[in-house]
Amino acid sequence: MEFYCSKNNLVNAVNIVSKAVPSKTTMTILECILINVSNGKIILTSNDTELGIETEIKGEIKDNGIIAIEAKLFSEIVRKLPDNIVHIKSDNNYVLNISCEKNNFSIAGKDGSDFPYLEDVEKKDFITISQFTLKEVIRQTIFSISQSENNKIMTGELLDINGNILRLISLDGHRISIRKIELRQDYASLKVIIPGKTLNELSKILSGEIEKVVNIYFSKSNAVFEFDNTVVVTRLIEGDYFDVDKMVSNEYSTKINIDKKELISCIDRATLLVRENDRKPVIITINDEEFELEIKSPIGSMDESINIEKEGADLKIGFNPRFLLDALKVIDDDKINIFFMNSKAPCYIKDDKGKYNYMILPINFNTV
Amino acid sequence: MEFYCSKNNLVNAVNIVSKAVPSKTTMTILECILINVSNGKIILTSNDTELGIETEIKGEIKDNGIIAIEAKLFSEIVRKLPDNIVHIKSDNNYVLNISCEKNNFSIAGKDGSDFPYLEDVEKKDFITISQFTLKEVIRQTIFSISQSENNKIMTGELLDINGNILRLISLDGHRISIRKIELRQDYASLKVIIPGKTLNELSKILSGEIEKVVNIYFSKSNAVFEFDNTVVVTRLIEGDYFDVDKMVSNEYSTKINIDKKELISCIDRATLLVRENDRKPVIITINDEEFELEIKSPIGSMDESINIEKEGADLKIGFNPRFLLDALKVIDDDKINIFFMNSKAPCYIKDDKGKYNYMILPINFNTV
């Protein structure tokens, strides 16, 4: 195998495929990036058996071949090369030579034919979405997937397509996050559960440019994201997702409109009095036009009031401050609506247009 | 105690005194910042018994008093306050109230009279130096103090004043760093050993502005650094420092002039093949006008050549790459001189004007 390419092209491609290299694995070949030069293409591949990434590098091919090379070392080396054309060459003993200007590296690789191939997905059903939008909705929902593997379904997100509406939904037993976007055309109805890890890594690779699109293909057990020179293949999580529409309510007895930044700063300050893993709630009292937030902990106490617009009844209710912060931080609006029923029912942070709906369960502040 | 001050003044002062709060201590009072309002001044103090810092806050005093308050919590709270006037008040039960706009914190403090006072140093002998210069020479020498407490003297730096010349010197058994600066006037000769920790924390507090100065006072066992609204008091390390002038030599058989950035990049790449704590040397071969650097390790091999200007004999010599990098990274010159005697003698990286001299011992590359 032998080819030339620019350092920048090489670094970008290695950064992309590195996202699917597992940090811990019993199969050492998976800690490698596969370099495959054939059919006039230079392709890098990584695969952690649940998630696989393939990306093409533009360059000048001298000789076909295939080699697997330890991802971390290869990535460190290419990043530190001079900014110039890189010459990559391997021999029959799986030694990889990397040269750039007057610098030469030789490192040991592995037989590339041992590397597991990515799942082949028939490219039939697909949807098209802007890279920017996909990156945004992932960021705006990913925080409320479950971190525990006890319920596999909660570690993923529901991708729900209905006509020209796509919804991305996550929940973890304490809260539900729903984001809705309009697609440019209608598609057949579809519900799939995508692993949270895939969405996390995907959002790091997506360029975030509005003009650039990603095509998403679906098969029974896989999804494929195709964009730029890159293909991301992921297994889907099997099973039926929760019927979220039955879990959320539109009724309320109190509605407030509050400045988002003021509320974030206020909760941020309150969390200073909470040690990690301590389930101290912040207690919110809504009285006429005033919103008061209090916290009492062994460390000290804090109270602060914020002006609001209010409809409906007065209320006192407790929340985990982190759950409020997680939702508030991914909302772009400056002024937000929060809907309450009573001190035992969830609150909903949602906009008038139905683009987002964040449900958060309260904490009983009398017993903690 | 009661006073008002701006959030910014408060945050700056807390940041400064936090540098002398020990992270681990058996005396819990030392984990506090002392707030002392008396004689028309608001003073914050911290003290880890070796290093003490005192700084004044400009503000409006309502009532005198003294309280000790947990440094970490107090620092976190004041940083997150709104950008406005802060009202600080304590009562007889050592409860501290911090209010800003519509926010109120109450946290428990401690009796301030238990806090150890800073050593009183008679302000007689002193030198004056620009904050920028002091900050620079600390950065340019601090890396080669010893990390081990086995030889206490090597954990500090020698401050050596002779006429209008100030030298700051550190050594760790493998290398010596010497920086020389000219003072604006002559001073009495003086040699003191300042703890490395003091210099480290001091360099973080110094503003680095050329126009601003620091006055340094000396007593038998202490030094005091006075600048802006701040006073830093440190114990000195007892004992006689090494006679460094007898340890460095001006003789050489090979002198090279090399591009500093090229050399740093080259060594940086070579270190990718060295696992931490592995003492693999880089091997330098100087042949005619070419400088070649090689490394071989269980991970792989690298070689690279750099054009140089050379005087004297050809040479092959091995070094710990980190020791070369540490010195090179604090030198401002683009082209540097390196002087060699033979493969068993140290090299010297030094300039023509005698502003810096970095001595590094070689590694015997035949036995490693």
Contact: A73, B299; criterion CB under 8 Å? yes
Residues 6+ apart with CB under 8 A from B114: B29, B68
Token duo for residue B245: 């002038």
At A121, is the pLDDT very low, low, confident or very high (cuts 50, 70, 90)? Answer: confident
User: Which residues, other chains included, contact B322 with Cβ-Cβ below 8 Å and sequence gap of 6+?
Assistant: B271
Residue range B219-231: mean pLDDT, rounded: 95
In this prediction, residue A368 carries a pLDDT of 46
User: Stretch B229-246: mean pLDDT, rounded?
Assistant: 97
Per-residue pLDDT at B365 exceeds 50: yes
pLDDT the model gives residue A278:
79
> Nearest chain A Cα to B70, which residue?
A299
Residues 250-279 of A with CB under 8 A from B: 265-266, 268-269, 272-273
Specify the pLDDT at position B367.
54
Q: Within 10 Å of residue A56's Cβ, how many Cβ atoms?
A: 15
User: Does the ipTM exceed 0.95?
Assistant: no
Question: Nearest CB to B272: which of A76, A272, A303?
Answer: A76
Share the mean pLDDT of chain B. Answer: 95
Phi/psi class of residue B265: alpha, beta or left (left: φ > 0; alpha: ψ in -120 to 50)?
A: alpha
Q: Are A62 and A35 in contact (CB under 8 A)?
A: no
Identify the CA nearest to A16 among candidates A49, A44, A58: A44
- The tokens for A322 are 């982190």
Q: Do B272 and A77 touch (CB under 8 A)?
A: yes
Tell me which chain A residues have a C-beta less than 8 angstroms from the C-beta of B267: none
For the cut 60, the answer to whether the pLDDT of residue B368 exceeds it is: no
Give pLDDT tens digits for B81-138. 999 999 999 999 999 999 999 999 999 999 999 999 898 888 888 999 999 999 999 9
Q: Cβ distance A170 to A145 under 8 Å?
A: yes
Grouping H, G, I as helix, E, B as strand and the rest as coil, residue B131 is helix
Residue B48 reports pLDDT greater than 50: yes
* Inter-chain touch B107–A76, beta carbons under 8 Å: no
Q: What is the pLDDT, as a whole number, of residue B185?
A: 94
What's the whole-number mean pLDDT along residues A45-58? 96
Instruction: Round the average pLDDT of chain A to a whole number and report it.
Output: 95
Kindly state whether B163 is in contact with chain A, defined as any CB-CB distance less than 8 angstroms: no
Look up residue B327 and give its amino acid.
A
**Digit-coded pLDDT (tens) for A59-103:** 999 999 999 999 999 999 999 999 999 999 999 999 999 999 999
Indicate which of B269, B290, B307, B308 best probes the interface with A, i.e. most A CBs within 10 Å of its own CB: B269
The residues with which A318 forms a beta bridge, in sequence order, are: A283, A363
Please compute the mean of the pLDDT values over residues B161-176 and round it to a whole number.
97
Would you tell me how many other CB atoms lie within 10 Å of the CB of residue B71? 22
Label residue A220 exposed, middle or buried (CB < 10 Å: 0-12, 13-18, 19+).
exposed
Residues of chain B found within 8 Å of residue A305, distances taken between Cβ atoms: 102
pLDDT at residue A365, rounded to an integer: 80
Residue range A248-298, pLDDT digits in tens: 999 999 999 999 999 999 999 999 999 877 788 999 999 988 999 999 999
Q: Which among A77, A104, A268 is the nearest to B304, CB-wise?
A: A104
User: Are A265 and B80 an interchain contact pair (Cβ–Cβ within 8 Å)?
Assistant: yes
DSSP state of B151: S
- Beta bridge partners, A286, equal A291, A315
Quote the pTM value. Answer: 0.91
